[in-house]
Amino acid sequence: GNSVTQMEGPVTLSEEAFLTINCTYTATRYPSLFWYVQYPGEGLQLLLKATKADDKGSNKGFEATYRKETTSFHLEKGSVQVSDSAVYFCALSGGSNYKLTFGKGTLLTVNP
């Protein structure tokens, strides 16, 4: 079956620090990969996605590259802001399985 493992949190950084949140996956077929973000008290919003190997998804300064050889999709941002404080979820959907499988989420807190 499909599964997603992401870095346990919480992660606490100072403003302008570099962010990496690790995500690895197991899938029976080539999946599409996603990062979702959840701000306090809100639902999930799609942050970025990649649909095939070596694709790079990017949005709002965040990036993630689909690495088939390492089955990974790590989230990075060069300089975080206080407004990036949120929970980040890695997810996949694959082949005929349109369901999303989520990781457990990583809480990021950015301090001024």
User: What number of CA atoms fall less than 13 Å from residue 30's CA on the CB side?
Assistant: 10
Residue 52, phi then psi, degrees to nearest 5 = -150, 165
Q: Work out how close the CB of 90 gets to another protein at its nearest, in angstroms, rounded to a whole number.
A: 10
Among 10, 40, 98, 112, binds another protein (CB under 8 A): 98
Q: Which residues contact 65 (CB under 8 A, 6 or more apart)?
A: 50, 54, 55, 56, 57, 73, 74
Indicate the pairing of strand 3-6 with strand 19-21.
Answer: unpaired
Q: Work out how close the CB of 51 gets to another protein at its nearest, in angstroms, rounded to a whole number.
A: 4
Identify which of residues 17 and 100 has a Cβ nearer to another protein in the complex. Answer: 100
Contact status: 102 vs another protein (CB under 8 A)? yes
The CA-atom distances, in angstroms, between 102 and each of 17, 79, 112 are 26, 25, 30
Q: Work out how close the CB of 3 gets to another protein at its nearest, in angstroms, rounded to a whole number.
A: 11
Contact status: 43 vs another protein (CB under 8 A)? yes
> Applying CB under 8 A, which residues contact another protein?
32, 34, 36, 42-46, 49, 51, 89, 91, 93-94, 96-100, 102-105
